[in-house]
Amino acid sequence: MMKKYFIIVAVIFFVLNIFAQDTIVVQTFTLDSTSREGVFLFPDEPGTTYEKIIMQYRMRCHDALVGNGNVGCYEWDYHCNTVVTDSSKTDSLWSTHPSHIIVGSESNPYYYVPDPTFNYFQYLQQEVVYNVIISEDSALIGNGTQTLDIPFSTNYKKGKTQILLTVSELSAAGLSVGNISGIRLDISEIGSEIEFLKIKLKHTDKTELNNTSPDLEGFTEVYFLNTTFASTGKNSFNFYQPFLWNGTSNIIIELSFSSSAGGSSNTVFGEDTGFNSTISTNSEDGFLSVNIGDYIEVPPEAFAPIDSFITVSFWQYGDAELQPFNSYIFEGVDADNNRVINCHLPWGNSSIYWDAGNSGTSSYDRIDKEAAFSEYAGRWNHWALTKNVATGEMKMYLNGSLWHSGTGKTRLMTGITKFRIAGNKNEGRYAGFINEFRVWAAELDSSDIQQWMFRDVDPSHPYYSNLLFCYRFDEESGDIATDCSANGYDGTIYGQPIRARFPGHKLSRNFVQSQLRPNIVLVQGNYMQTITTTEYLDSLQRPFNTVYDYYVLNNDLFVNDTNYYYEAGYMPVFSENNTVVDTIIVVPEDSIYIETLEYYKKWPARFELISFITPYGNGLDLGVEGKMWEFDVTDFAPVLQGEKFLSMEGVGRWSEEYDIRFLFIEGTPPRDVLSIDPIWPIAKPGQMWYSFSPNDIWNDLKFEPREILMNPDASYFKIRSAITGHGQNGEFMQKWHYMNIDGGDNEFEYLVWKECSEVPVYPQGGTWIYDRAGWCPGDPTTLFEFDITEFVAPGEVHTIDYGLTNIGGLTQADYRISNQLVTYGEANHTLDAAIVYVGKPNSKVAAHQRFNPLCMNPAVVIQNTGATQLTSLEIEYHVEGGESLSFSWTGALGFLDTTEVELPVPELNFWNGISNNFYVEISQPNMQTDEYPNNNFYHITYEEVDSYEDNETISFICKTNNLAYQNYYTITDVDGNIILERNGLSNNTVYTDELTLAPGCYKLRIDDTGDNGLYFWAQPGQGSGYFRLEDENNNILKTFNPDFGGFFIYEFGIVNLTNSDKIKNTSILSVYPNPCSDKVHISLSGFENKILSVKIYNASMIEITENQFTIDSGNYHKEINIKDLPDGVYIIQIMYDGKIRNRKIIKI
């Protein structure tokens, strides 16, 4: 199939205010993109250089909704890797490969013959001869004169007839309770020999037989013999074992035969019983025996009507020797290879999975259930799988009965472009037998399924017009599966499956019911008899083995030849119970010894730009615009040129909506990027979930040491490493990883571990707070960068090795790894400084979300981008229309070193301007002229902080949870002075602190040492708390989400609006704890020379006590003894300067 790529030219020239240079914007995916891959045009102008390339990565919940499951942001945390492919380069992966792949055999050496081999089936026929009749009674049922073809219609190759005899008929005929030793049928005309004639009996409570529900189990075989008739008239069938009639039940007698060719029929006399007393079939029912590698391709046009309703039904018999394994009984995918419908029958865990419907994504609706072995292997079973989008129901029917179901499944099933039976989108993945495969654009119910599972579908079926295709697999030979519907969608058979047919005694379908029944005599007797056993062998051709012969040339793997052989050795002889009773040796003609070849897999080079893990989406709100991250991808400058294939990979690529654009900032970089190359390749396309086991890494089966020629023109060398750990151990276990150059001690060892309770996207609808190996939900993977310049030499070959320092405890672990080598030219500037970014204020980039908005000191990251050490710098900063301030920085930064500089803001009115735009500019590096001023300027928009009036009293109220020792909080001013500090808190206690603050900027910070906030849904034992701000009338000013993880920061301003009665000092009034037992503490600050009246009232506002205090010093603390008060609710009233403050407390 030709894959279609869309070239999106999205290069727009304009000047961005954030930088001082022209910036080319390349827009790739947008929030409304329906694809996650495409070819995009990147700048490729000769002579144009770029100082920096920024990747802006925006993520939004679907349709900006907040929901659960697949509404809004999807529920789970998944990988989402952004990858660019450069077909001018090659990835290579050291690999091993067997010299031969032999499909269907694991033998080594493999002994074979070129001609077919067979499985053999032993049949033991029993001939019974009566030597002496000791006693004998008979019971005749039926005395008709009609000539009937059943049960011996030997003009067909095979046949099966079931005859019902009712208890009333048996009793009326004089049959006694006890053993039935034989039967007699009245032969009217002799025909061909009846080969492999079997007679079986069973008790039943059926009063009529029905062709839609034949009896297939519970019979006792009593007769098995190739039979011919010497004369017409009543012929006896002597049982080799009697059937014990219980005297109360009806009896079904089953007669079947199988022959290699049809002959002439043996007819019998019979009568019309007036009820459905017989069912019979002579169906030439075939089926397909498939092995791994075989499959049937269905024309995709057959699925055009599929949208909201579907039924897939079939008979299957799983290979008992191979099952369970990760099998596919069918799969249908869309144009992007996303699964639309699929069934694992079973998966390797013995569970059966029914998948149906997606939204053009790799996520789909699913129901599954663990199955018993007999429900998928070792016997024939009928399965019907249905989905109804309108009701949201998916169902699985086993042998006509509902086996499992699910609700809330509403994804449509449109867009199937590839469908395979016995395989998935890539290969054949089933082993066993398949028969009567049907697909309907309708939901069939249990009645429909039961009525038609045992017969061929025809136009009388109530949903015949909805039948898309039906494969009976009755063809004698060929690679076509004929569609028995009216649509003509014939399937194409690939591989070498074997066509087989059911013997007479195994026939189960296409019965015809009738009221005509042979006359039959049931015999009860005692005999002296001789039983002679005769062995017959039948054979079934074994599937051949496809043998692929490989060789290696110039480190590349090639197929030399393909042959079809049959494995030699001991061929099994099976009894009728499928147990091996003997073997027959096939002498091999030759053998193949399978060796291990070493080579390098190669494919177009793929570069992981960003590894991101999507957030837990339940209840998550990312806003209408979403959240945006910025990543410096200048290292990929040699790749991001011209037309390049860009793809988002991993399950998470569909979890949210994405907007990705690249900003190419024209100018001179600190140093030219000469090349970037994967040291070891990431996964091939479509395999982004492919990961590496710790054992393989430890044993150098993966990430083996690699010899690399260092670029002879380079001056600097760097390794980029991004690693995520997964599996129960790999995800939650800290491990040290290393990079080694040329053996010996490791040059770099690094802990792949990430603090997740401080991610900017919070709270999330899952266990987002737990630290993980290199990643957190809703955040990019940690990137490690190692300067290896001092350990390598340009133009020399060096060995680079990656690994783990130990793998202890990693029993369930895997790692997803991207390691890249970047080479650079010399420094382009001698003396140059640059602004990397402004983190505070910054309302644009999600990474800074926890620290914004702010009114305290801005923070700017500066970098030495010149070869000379940077020791001083002048920094000017202001908001648009506001006062400009300057700051002189001193320090010591080597080439490309960075540091964050806090810029002092002494007054809140610094932020008063005509817009929320912050500007910063640097100059005079080392008190000299900057060689390259283009990178000296930065501009960012910001959000204003909340502001409160200076004459307003604010209550800071904290209610602790069951783990109060984990929490502490402070309020500080712009100079870092602590205004309020609380630690050593008590469980489930409310702390209320009234603050009247002087004008200025303040910061509230609450920390949780347990990293689980005041509330976390997955840890109910810690209880819940809250933190909020109230005014003096107890109106809530601000409420903070208690599910904040490790900490939260809230900066706010106190402003003077009238300039009258300006507050110069801060005052604090605190009443705690609450609840309390013996004492109430009243703490005051800023109440110098005040007289306070403190009264306590009960719940009925009856005054209990009154105290007056004169406060002389700045800080005052008073304990009030309430030990003798009864438990209950009280009001503490505090009065000063004509103001009244009431606080409710609970005594316990």
343-375 pLDDT, tens digit each: 999 999 999 999 999 866 667 899 999 999 999
Average pLDDT rounded to a whole number, residues 926-948: 94
- Indicate whether 11 pLDDT > 80: no
For 127-281+511-537, CATH number? 2.60.120
Partner residues linked to 119 by β-bridges: 540
Has this prediction a pTM greater than 0.85? no
The predicted structure's pLDDT at residue 149? 93
- What are the backbone angles phi and psi of residue 791, rounded to the nearest 5°? -105, -5
CA distances from 689 to 35, 79, 726, 797, 812 (A): 19, 8, 11, 32, 16
pLDDT band at 811 (very low <50, low <70, confident <90, very high): confident
The predicted structure's pLDDT at residue 687? 55
Structure tokens at 1093: 């009246």
The whole-angstrom separation of Cα 539 and Cα 293 is: 24
Find out whether 394 and 408 touch, Cβ atoms under 8 Å.
no
The predicted structure's pLDDT at residue 1062? 44
Average pLDDT rounded to a whole number, residues 493-505: 90
The predicted structure's pLDDT at residue 293? 87
Of 254-268, 369-383, 819-833, least confident by mean pLDDT is 254-268
- Which of helix, strand or coil describes residue 95? strand
pLDDT band at 1131 (very low <50, low <70, confident <90, very high): confident
pLDDT band at 689 (very low <50, low <70, confident <90, very high): low
| Among 653, 655, 645, 719, CA closest to 689 | 653
- Which of helix, strand or coil describes residue 244? strand
Average pLDDT, the chain: 91
Q: For domain 835-944, say whether CATH 2.60.40.10 is its number.
A: yes
The CATH class of the 947-1147 domain is: mainly beta
pLDDT band at 21 (very low <50, low <70, confident <90, very high): low
Find out whether 754 and 772 touch, Cβ atoms under 8 Å.
yes
Find out whether 926 and 866 touch, Cβ atoms under 8 Å.
no
CA distances from 744 to 232, 706, 739, 747, 799 (A): 97, 15, 11, 9, 11
Radius of gyration of the chain (CA): 42
- Indicate whether 1 pLDDT > 50: no
- Percent pLDDT > 90 in the chain is 73
Q: Is the dihedral of CA 608, 613, 617, 620 positive or negative?
A: negative
Partner residues linked to 81 by β-bridges: 611, 649
Q: Is 979 left (phi over 0), alpha (psi -120 to 50) or beta?
A: alpha
231-259 pLDDT, tens digit each: 999 999 999 999 999 999 999 999 999 98
- What are the backbone angles phi and psi of residue 742, rounded to the nearest 5°? 60, 30
| Among 89, 88, 18, 8, CA closest to 54 | 18
Of 63-67, 394-398, 443-447, 818-822, least confident by mean pLDDT is 63-67
The predicted structure's pLDDT at residue 362? 64
- Indicate whether 54 pLDDT > 50: yes
For 286-501, CATH number? 2.60.120.200
1044-1097 pLDDT, tens digit each: 999 999 999 998 754 444 445 577 778 888 888 888 888 877 777 777 788 888
Average pLDDT rounded to a whole number, residues 512-535: 96
- Percent pLDDT > 70 in the chain is 96
Structure tokens at 615: 């957030």
Structure tokens at 909: 């009115």
> How does strand 178-189 pair with strand 100-102?
unpaired
Average pLDDT rounded to a whole number, residues 433-449: 97
- Indicate whether 10 pLDDT > 50: no
pLDDT band at 188 (very low <50, low <70, confident <90, very high): very high
The whole-angstrom separation of Cα 619 and Cα 75 is: 9
735-783 pLDDT, tens digit each: 999 999 999 999 999 999 999 999 999 999 999 999 999 999 999 999 9
82-105 pLDDT, tens digit each: 999 988 877 666 778 899 999 878
Average pLDDT rounded to a whole number, residues 898-903: 97
Find out whether 991 and 982 touch, Cβ atoms under 8 Å.
yes
Structure tokens at 402: 């509902």
pLDDT higher at 654 or 771? 771
The residue behind tokens 């000063």 is 1136
CB-based burial, 829-853: b 16+ in 10 Å, e otherwise: bebbbbbbbbbbbbbbbbbbbbbbb
The predicted structure's pLDDT at residue 1063? 45
The whole-angstrom separation of Cα 147 and Cα 286 is: 30
281-312 pLDDT, tens digit each: 999 999 999 988 899 999 999 999 999 999 99
- Which of helix, strand or coil describes residue 356? strand
| Among 397, 405, 407, 342, CA closest to 375 | 397
Q: For domain 7-93+601-827, say whether CATH 2.60.40.10 is its number.
A: no
The whole-angstrom separation of Cα 475 and Cα 501 is: 10
The predicted structure's pLDDT at residue 2? 29
Q: Which amino acid is at 1085?
A: S
- Indicate whether 683 pLDDT > 50: yes
- Whether 127-281+511-537 shares its CATH topology with 947-1147 is answered no
The predicted structure's pLDDT at residue 91? 67
For residue 674, count other CB atoms closer than 10 A to its CB: 17
120-154 pLDDT, tens digit each: 888 999 999 999 999 999 999 999 999 999 999 99
| Domain ranges, ordered by start, for the chain | 7-93+601-827, 100-117+542-594, 127-281+511-537, 286-501, 835-944, 947-1147
The predicted structure's pLDDT at residue 1059? 44
- What are the backbone angles phi and psi of residue 966, rounded to the nearest 5°? -80, -10
The residue behind tokens 């438990």 is 1127
